[in-house]
Every structure is written in C-alpha cells, then in structure tokens.
Amino acid sequence: MKHAALIAAALAAASLSPLVCAGQSLRFGIEAQYPPFEFKTAGGELQGLDVELGKAVCAEAHLQCSWVENAFDGLIPALQAKKFDAINSAMNATEQRRKTIDFTRVLYRVPSMVIAHKNSGIDASADKLKGKSMGVLQGSIQETYAKSHWEPAGVRVVSYQDQNQVYNDMVSGRLDATLVMAPAGQKGFLSRPDGKDFQFAGAVHDDKILGSGIAFGLRKGDADLRNKLDAAIAKLQASGKVKALAAKYLGEGIDVSVK
C-alpha cells in the first residue's frame, strides 16, 4: 500500500504544469508612481508599459511573475538584499549602475527632457537654468545628470522621492523646472489640466550618465536568469511586441528603438 501511494503521488506530480513543478517564479521590484511606465489604477492595480512588458517577458520565458513595490532610490539595495529578483521600473542601464548590478539586454530607449513654464525662457542649457530650481526624482539618472552638469553652474537641484510632488511644486511656483523621461513628462504632467501652462524646453544628451536604454536590473552573477530573460526579450522585439506596447503607452511619435 505504501508503495502504491508513492507511485500515485509521483503520477500526480507529473500531471502538474512544468511551471508549478519547477517553481519558476520571478519577483519584479517596481516604483509604481511614474506613468506611463508604471502606475496604479483607482482600484490599486499595477499598469503601464513596464508592467505589460514584464508580463509579456514572463509569458515568453514561462515564468510566474509578481511585483514588489519599492521607492525608486531603494530598488538596487532591495535587489541586492534579495527582496525581489529583478528591477522592472524604467531603469536605464548606465555605467555607474553596472558597477553594482547587471542588466538584461535593453528593451527600449527614450529621451530625457526639461519641462518648464511656457513663459519662463528656460531651456536645457546651464546658462538659462543658472539661479533656477530644478526638481528631479531621487536616485534617477536625471538627478545624476542635473547634479553633474547644472549644479556646478549655479542651478539648485532638489531631489524628491515622488515625481508627482515635483509637478505639484512646479505648479505652486516652488520649482522652476524638472528633468524627466519625455513620455513620463507628457503623460504624467503635460497632458493633465495642471500641466497646461508648461512645455518641453529641450532634450539632454550624455550616454555615460543617461545610459544605453531601459533594461531589467539583476543581481551580479545571476547569469541563468539573465539568459532566460534576454532570450524572451529578443523574441518580443523581433515580433514587434515591444514596439506595439510602446506605441500604446508612449504614443506613435516616440522612437523607442535601440541604437
């Protein structure tokens, strides 16, 4: 009887899906306050470009995925502390970050642009920003760019844990400008009623700081997971899925191609 029970248990296990048997789960770390890349509905559901891309990659790689919310500036420490397995939060793969963590192949690339009041005369040059207050997301590459290029020229750089608070302080007059990824600025502020008096005021360029594009962040040495995710990303790019999702969330006019 005992032998028969063991055989029955083995057959039952064999009938389960490979996903369940192998325990192939993946926890993504995400900062959910950066539309259209990641945001929450009124009902608390996570949505956005990165969330849909994460789901598509997981389906292609036969992984069962979940998301763990975390402040953006704490994503890398939380990844290293194994609170989740990968970062999926519009994070650019930069030289500085590569010293600490690994990245998958780049999924897409978008420009970073200054937003300022329409009548301010501000552009992306240090001369026009001198003496002004620039709000940036704490821990972001935009913060690094602003502190490297503009702060030494007399620009007051103010860091926030929430980009929405930056927009609030711009509307109230406590800030003069912000530097964000263009789609986030358009969908998260300029397209809203409170952003009607503001506009894009120029793009910035510095591949060393701004990176090669958006990718999933991984712990150093996690080669098996990187290879699995890279293969899935390559298939989604080749099929046009990445481009289609980018058009859905960012608009047709945003070039997300990886150069």
pLDDT reading at 239 higher than 90: yes
Least confident of 18-32, 38-52, 69-83, 170-184: 18-32
Q: Could you tell me if 185 and 137 are in contact, meaning their C-beta atoms sit under 8 angstroms apart?
A: no
Angle of CA points 124, 125, 130, to nearest 5°: 110
Strand pairing category for 86-87 and 39-40? unpaired
Least confident of 98-102, 181-185, 222-226: 181-185
Topology alike, domains 23-109+212-250 and 112-210: yes
What is the reported pTM?
0.73
Q: What is the pLDDT of residues 40-49, one digit of tens each?
A: 999 999 999 9
Q: What is the pLDDT of residues 126-181, one digit of tens each?
A: 999 999 999 999 999 999 999 999 999 999 999 999 999 999 999 999 999 999 99
Q: What are phi and psi of 117, to 5 degrees?
A: -65, 145
Fold of the CATH domain 23-109+212-250: D-Maltodextrin-Binding Protein; domain 2 (3.40.190)
What is the spatial distance between Cα 243 and Cα 254, in angstroms, rounded to a whole number? Answer: 10
Percent of residues, the chain, with pLDDT higher than 90? 79
What is the structure's pLDDT at 230? Answer: 98
Domain ranges of the chain: 23-109+212-250, 112-210
Print burial letters for 39-67: b (CB count within 10 Å at least 16), e (below 16).
beeeeeebebbbbbbbbbbbebbebebeb
- Amino acid present at 225: L
Closest to 30 in 3D by CA, of 40, 21, 15, 22: 40
pLDDT reading at 121 higher than 60: yes
**What's the CATH number for 112-210?**
3.40.190.10
Q: Within 72-176, where are the H helices?
A: 75-80, 95-98, 126-129, 141-145, 163-171
Confidence of residue 252 (pLDDT cuts 50, 70, 90): low
Judge residue 162's burial from the number of C-beta atoms within 10 Å of its C-beta, 0-12 exposed, 13-18 middle, 19 or more buried: middle
